[in-house]
Amino acid sequence: MRELKVLSLTIANGFLAFISLYALTFLPNLRALHLENFKDFSFLENLRTLEILSLHASMSENLADELGRLENLKILDLTKCIFSLSFPSNVIRRLSQLEELHLPELEIKISSHTFLEINFLTRLTSLSLGISFLHFPPDFEFPKLEKYKICISRKRAILSLMLDGERSLKVKEVFPYVAVSQLLGNLERLQVSDIKDEYVKCLTNKTQQKLSVPMILRSLKQERIERCNNINVVFQMEEVEENEAPLLSNLKILHLEDLPDLSCIWELATQHVRLESLVKLTIRECPRLKSLFSLSLAQSLVLLEKLDISFCHGLKQIVAELEGDEGEISSTINSHNSLCFPKLTRLSIFSCKVLEYIFLTSLAPPGLQGLTLDIGFCSLLKQVFRWEMTVCSNTSRDRYRPFQCYNTLN
């Protein structure tokens, strides 16, 4: 028993209880301890060999002193720990060996002093934090982190409702550019919701970024933006160096919903953008959008499987029509890269009132046998495919003939 190194104890049925664990002080080799639903931690100060401590659904008013004496801790997880008043100050900075810190969701106040203490943790590489913007110091600088899960909200931040990933950020009701920009360099998953600020029109505000926009747009794998009244463009950048790597090449999932002012998704130099990893795209309640992709962007969607569009009452085209003379258009569309959405398996379009057709025939997915179409309440929809006589051969017309007059459900 004295050789025990890892121990996990849980009081069943979620009942908090006073159970003495003083006997743990006789385990000199104990390195990792997980406790769930406990109240008494007076024994902790004697567990000087602990390197990993996890306290879930535990409650204590006198935990600060005990934690501060565990100078060998490398991982401290207090995510589900309950404090009656406020998170104790002058604790974190004493844990100088910490590599991972997971602070509690905001049932309590975390003072600005607590944030300043985080900067003293020179070994810290992983941080989980749910924080109210009201208690977030405006000049706080995050340490360089390899992994993080951070939620910033106006009142209460809940980490459990965030997207899973090694580097995830959620902002709700407020969008602190200065704080957020510090995390964007290697951000993988971003959630933004309920932003009413009239000045937040684009998430990549280059005037307040410490990092270049290209760097931000290369690591992103998943993005979800909802209920933001004034955002009019999602991805924006004016210039890209010729030798820059493709932008958005790692983006896999994009969800945009209830964005009344959104008129453009990608305001980028399209020759530098590749959506080659995008698998799922959901666009809902974006009434000012007229199209989703330029032709060059659509051609890069080689992995797109699911496309869901609904209540986009201004949407006229999924892929914007080309501008130019007929010969140039024919040459572009008939190129060997012209087919769009080769992996598309499900297309759902609902209540898009001015949409007349879905695909130019030459841009339609090649494997229609595996494509499920779900279309409803698109009152102006005439065809799934729009025939372009200058660019479509009789062979291609025959190939798609069974789908030519697929009528919408009204």
Tens place of pLDDT per residue across the chain (410 aa): 678 899 998 887 655 556 677 788 888 889 999 988 887 788 888 888 899 999 887 666 667 778 888 889 999 998 777 665 556 667 888 889 999 998 866 455 566 677 778 888 899 999 988 877 777 777 777 788 899 998 888 766 566 566 677 899 888 888 777 777 777 778 899 999 998 877 777 766 554 444 455 566 778 899 999 999 989 998 877 665 666 677 888 999 999 999 999 999 988 777 778 899 999 999 999 999 999 998 888 889 999 999 999 999 999 999 887 554 334 444 444 444 455 788 899 999 999 999 988 876 656 665 566 788 899 999 898 877 665 543 333 434 343 333 433 444 44
Tokens in use for 199? 């000045």
Tokens in use for 280? 């799922």
pTM of the model: 0.82
Give the architecture-level CATH label for domain 1-161: Alpha-Beta Horseshoe (3.80)
Kindly list the domain boundaries of the chain, sorted by start residue. Answer: 1-161
Q: Which residues contact 152 (CB under 8 A, 6 or more apart)?
A: 131, 132, 133, 136, 169, 170, 171, 172, 174, 176, 179, 180
Instruction: Choose among 188, 197, 185, 191: nearest CA to 172.
Output: 191
CA distances from 278 to 187, 226, 252, 335 (A): 17, 19, 4, 22
Q: Which residues contact 151 (CB under 8 A, 6 or more apart)?
A: 129, 130, 131, 157, 158, 159, 162, 169, 170, 171, 172
Sign of CA dihedral 67, 73, 79, 81: negative
Tokens in use for 85? 């008043």
Residue 397's SS3 state is helix
What is the DSSP secondary-structure string of 247-271?
A: BTTT--EEEEES-TT--EEEES-GG
- According to DSSP, residue 234 is labeled E
Count of alpha carbons within 13 angstroms of residue 216, beta-carbon side: 21
The torsion angles phi and psi of 296, rounded to 5 degrees, stand at -65, -35
Asked if residues 289 and 263 have their Cβ atoms less than 8 Å apart, the reply is: yes
Q: Which residues contact 96 (CB under 8 A, 6 or more apart)?
A: 71, 120, 121, 122, 123
